[in-house]
Structure 1
Amino acid sequence: MERLTLPPGGAAAVDEYLEYRRIVGEDDGGKLFTPEEYEEYKRKVLPMRLQNRLYVSWQSPTGMDCKLVGPETLCFCTHRYKQHKTDFETIPPQRPISLPCQVRGCPCRAYVYVPLNGTQPIRCRCKHFADQHSAAPGFVCNACSKCSGFHSCFTCACGQPAYAHDTVVETKQERLAQGKPVGQDVPYAAMGGLTGFSSLAEGYIRLDDSGIGAPSAEFLDSPVMAMDHPFLKAFQASSSSSPETLTVGTSSQVSSLRKPEEDDMAFFERRYQERSINRNKDIMKIGCSLSEVCPLANSVFGNLDPKKVSHILGYNYSIFSISFTDLRFYRFW
């Protein structure tokens, strides 16, 4: 791998270029503005951009923003959001607001978000991928003649199918009226619905008003159940148990932790021996219970040989012999 070395002041130049690219986006046509053109561009565009920013999201039928669109988010036409028209001197009065693609030759007339299944496009009901359909209105399939338009049954993480979602373009005032976050006013191009790092998460994970929302007080105060996360159960035990119960309950947890002086092999050997001891203790308990309940159980399940486990359990073989003999004798009479 080749190592790049920057001259003195090179890092500052890289930061300035990244700032330039975030502000200008694709408006320079691939040719860098001169310093004079750059200053003129900022003087003309930035006030308009700060005042007329548009927020783009992929909403479920319940109104949750399952996906907040950013500059690099792909459209159905396979071009990114930053390659669409996102700056307006005056916001169009008609709804929905159309954001046409600015790539030459692209028939896309409005930005439409299409989800991905992992890293691949989702399939239509005609079994072809989304990128095999035309980006023109109607989204007719280019690979077959029976498809009347793209229609996918792909299920979003919110539980609703993809065809029930809509790509929504909103103004700042419209989002504030719904109680959804709008973030801070930034001069960067094609920010879409991004308002912070949490905007990168899907809607069912975000705890703000644009996502699933903050959990209720009843949910936070509800008792910990058996199906809850082990961390919750451990916290519940540590906060509600007595010191005696806490000591017994946490002994197995402490034994599962690696000691500072242990290497890998010593740790795994100790854990193996502890599991073997616990397993043999369970076997002995089952054997005692069977001998007590049914003296003839040994003829079916076989005789338990304490010699094989006495050196692990640390018990005397004679104790087990007397115990089993007495149990069978007293049960028989």
Structure 2
Amino acid sequence: MKLKSYTKMVIQWSCDTCKRECIPVREESRCLCGHRYKEHPSSVSDPRVKSPKGFRAFACTSARCSCRAFFYVVAEGAWILRCRCKHRHTNHDPGSKPFVCKRPKCGCQGFDSPWVCNCDHPWGAHRQHLVEKKFDPLQMLQAQLTAPELNTVHRTDLLASPLNLRL
């Protein structure tokens, strides 16, 4: 079996201030609409695309979802990013920017979060970018088998002296 390399359009979420990719966008990453990245196909050749006519890259394929393009929302387990208006990302209209809050009597002008990333920059300093990425399955497999990160593991925890805590 021959493993062929291929290119694919992917989304990267990076900081405009420190110029680094802060959080990798994966298949299970969430969109503002509440659906996963895997429900936003990037290519018309994706098997989830039901009709090539009218295809939009990264538009949500879930029934009755108004999301026109994937918009990454930071989430970890049950924790989700909230807007400054204190409402969830799913309470905002994913159909058009600036993603205004749908809750009645909320004065929110668009989704914006006070959250600060591990890079010490605010949520608003981050952008998502479309990037064409090359995937080489053989090279990826070799990297997994060699596990280069094992060369940098230090077992100092086994050598450390025990803590003497006095209460």
TM-score (norm 1): 0.35
Q: In the alignment, is the contact (CA less than 8 A) between 2:82 and 2:88 conserved in 1?
A: yes
Query: Equivalent residues in 2 for 1:1-333 (5 A)?
Result: 51-61=6-16, 62-88=18-44, 98-116=57-75, 119-138=78-97, 139-143=99-103, 144-172=105-133, 183-185=135-137, 231=156, 253=161
The 4+ residue runs of structure 1 with deviation greater than 6 A are none
The amino acid of 1:153's aligned partner reads P
Q: In the alignment, is the contact (CA less than 8 A) between 1:76 and 1:131 conserved in 2?
A: yes
The amino acid of 1:114's aligned partner reads V
The verdict on how the C-alpha distance between 1:85 and 1:118 changes in structure 2, with shifts beyond 3 A counting, is closer
How far the C-alpha of 1:117 sits from its partner, in A, is 6.3
User: CA offsets per residue over residues 255-275 of structure 1, 9 Å max, x none?
Assistant: x59xxxxxxxxxxxxx89xx8
What is the identity percentage for the equivalent residue pairs of Structure 1 and Structure 2?
30
How far the C-alpha of 1:183 sits from its partner, in A, is 5.0
The amino acid of 2:24's aligned partner reads L
More helix by share: 1
Distance (Å, rounded) in 1 between the aligned partners of 2:22 and 2:113: 16
How far the C-alpha of 1:184 sits from its partner, in A, is 2.3
Number of residue-to-residue matches in the alignment: 136
How far the C-alpha of 1:88 sits from its partner, in A, is 4.2
How far the C-alpha of 1:65 sits from its partner, in A, is 1.0
**Partner SS state of residue 38, structure 2:** helix
Correspondence for 1:193: none
More strand by share: 2
Distance (Å, rounded) in 2 between the aligned partners of 1:185 and 1:117: 28
Question: Which has the larger Rg?
Answer: 1
**Partner SS state of residue 73, structure 2:** coil
Q: In the alignment, is the contact (CA less than 8 A) between 1:52 and 1:88 conserved in 2?
A: no
Distance (Å, rounded) in 2 between the aligned partners of 1:60 and 1:129: 22
Q: In the alignment, is the contact (CA less than 8 A) between 1:52 and 1:87 conserved in 2?
A: no
TM-score (norm 2): 0.66
Q: Structure 1: where are the runs of 5+ without partners?
A: 1-46, 90-96, 173-181, 187-195, 198-206, 208-230, 236-252, 258-270, 276-333
The verdict on how the C-alpha distance between 1:117 and 1:185 changes in structure 2, with shifts beyond 3 A counting, is closer
Name the structure, 1 or 2, with higher relative contact order (CA <8 Å, separation 6+).
2
Q: In the alignment, is the contact (CA less than 8 A) between 2:30 and 2:75 conserved in 1?
A: no
| RMSD of aligned Cα (Å) | 3.5
**Partner SS state of residue 131, structure 1:** helix
Correspondence for 2:50: none
